[in-house]
C-alpha cells in the first residue's frame, strides 16, 4: 500500500494506492500547529477505520504548498508508519519540464498535475484545480508546464464577501435553482456560484485563444470539481483526484517503476 498526501492551504487529501489504483481517500484539516504525533494518530485511526490498517505501508509521497506541514507529515510517517516520505517539489527529477520564468516557485500541486495530465491524457491540457485558490495549469502534450492563471478560490471569494459586509449572510455553496434570486441569500448563492462558473469559462476561453492549440482538453480537479465542473461549458472532463494520481506517478517514476 502506498500513501500520498496532497497538502493544500485549507485541507489535506490523503489517498492510498494498491497496484497503482486509488483505493481510498480522506480529507483532514491542514493545520501546521498539530504535532507529528497528532497526525500520526490520525493516520493510524483512518487506516484502521477503513479496514486497511493491517496492510503495511510501503511508501509515502507528499506534495505540499504549506512547507511547515511537510516536516510534520514526514515525521508522522516515520514514527507511526515506519516509512520515509518523499517530498515532491520543483527540484524533484520528474519527466516533465517547468518552462516558466521562475520554475522553483511552482507549487507541488501544479507540478504533479502536469505529470498526471501528461500520463493520463497525452494532449495539450488545461487543468482547472478548484481549491482554496482556483488555478489553471497549462500543460503541453509532451508534459511541459508553460504557465497558467491563479485566482481566488470559490470559497475564498465567498468568505471575503460575507466577512466584509455587515448584513450579507453566509450561504451554502450549492447550484441555485435560478439565476435571478428573490431573497438575499438566493442572490448571494447565484452570484457566488455562477460568478465562479463564468469566471472559469471566461478564463479558459482566453487561454484557448492565446494558446492556439488545436486539441485542447480542459479538465477540472480539486475539492469543488464535481460541484462546479458540470456547470462549466468549457470543462470536458472531471477528475477530482488528479493530484493524487500525479503524486503516485511521481513515486513510481522515482522508484524506477515503468508506466
Long-range contacts of 201-209 (CB under 8 A, 24+ apart): 201/232, 201/233, 201/234, 203/136, 203/149, 203/151, 204/126, 204/128, 204/136, 204/232, 204/234, 204/235, 205/234, 207/126, 207/136, 207/138, 207/149, 208/126, 208/234
For 163, the grid coordinates are: 466577512
- Residues forming a β-bridge with 256: none
Answer yes or no: is 109 a known binding residue. yes
Let me know: does 36 contact 75? Beta carbons within 8 Å.
yes
Answer yes or no: is 13 a known binding residue. yes
Answer yes or no: is 37 a known binding residue. no
Answer yes or no: is 10 a known binding residue. yes
Answer yes or no: is 156 a known binding residue. no
Answer yes or no: is 129 a known binding residue. yes
Answer yes or no: is 107 a known binding residue. yes
Answer yes or no: is 132 a known binding residue. yes
Answer yes or no: is 108 a known binding residue. yes
**CA gyration radius, the chain:** 19
The catalytically annotated residue of 2, 109, 124, 137 is 109
What's the rounded Cα separation, in Å, for the pair 247 and 249? 5
Q: Is 109 designated active site?
A: yes
Largest interatomic CA distance in the chain:
59
Answer yes or no: is 250 a known binding residue. no
Taking Cα atoms as reference points, which of 37, 21, 38 lies closest to residue 29? 38
The residues annotated with a catalytic role in the active site are 109
Q: Which residues are annotated as part of the binding site?
A: 6-13, 107-110, 129, 132, 184
Q: Which residues are annotated as part of the binding site for ATP?
A: 6-13, 132
Q: Which residues are annotated as part of the binding site for substrate?
A: 107-110, 184
Q: Which residues are annotated as part of the binding site for K(+)?
A: 129
Amino acid at each position: 500500500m502506498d500513501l500520498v498526501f496532497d497538502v493544500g492551504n485549507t485541507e489535506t487529501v490523503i489517498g492510498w494506492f494498491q497496484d497503482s489504483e486509488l483505493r481510498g481517500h480522506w480529507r483532514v484539516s491542514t493545520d501546521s500547529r498539530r504535532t507529528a504525533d497528532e497526525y500520526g494518530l490520525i493516520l493510524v485511526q483512518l487506516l484502521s477505520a477503513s479496514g486497511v490498517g493491517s496492510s503495511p505501508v510501503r511508501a509515502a509521497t507528499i506534495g505540499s504548498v504549506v512547507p511547515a506541514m511537510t516536516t510534520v507529515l514526514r515525521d508522522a510517517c516515520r514514527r507511526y508508519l515506519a516509512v520515509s516520505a518523499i517530498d515532491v517539489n520543483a527540484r524533484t527529477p520528474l519527466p516533465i519540464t517547468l518552462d516558466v520564468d521562475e520554475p522553483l516557485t511552482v507549487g507541488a500541486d501544479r507540478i504533479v498535475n502536469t505529470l498526471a495530465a501528461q500520463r493520463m491524457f497525452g494532449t495539450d491540457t488545461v487543468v482547472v484545480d478548484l481549491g482554496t485558490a482556483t488555478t489553471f495549469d497549462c500543460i503541453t502534450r509532451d508534459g511541459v508546464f508553460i504557465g497558467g492563471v491563479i485566482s481566488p478560490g470559490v470559497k475564498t471569494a465567498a468568505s471575503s464577501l460575507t466577512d466584509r459586509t455587515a448584513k450579507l449572510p453566509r450561504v451554502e455553496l450549492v447550484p441555485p435553482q435560478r439565476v435571478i434570486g428573490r431573497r438575499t441569500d438566493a442572490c448571494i448563492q447565484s452570484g457566488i456560484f455562477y460568478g465562479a462558473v463564468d469566471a472559469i469559462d471566461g478564463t479558459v476561453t482566453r487561454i484557448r485563444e492565446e494558446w492556439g492549440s488545436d486539441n485542447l482538453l480542459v479538465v477540472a480537479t480539486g475539492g469543488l470539481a464535481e460541484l462546479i465542473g458540470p456547470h462549466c461549458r468549457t470543462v470536458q472532463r472531471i477528475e477530482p483526484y488528479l493530484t493524487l494520481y500525479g503524486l503516485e506517478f511521481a513515486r513510481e517514476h522515482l522508484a524506477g517503476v515503468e508506466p
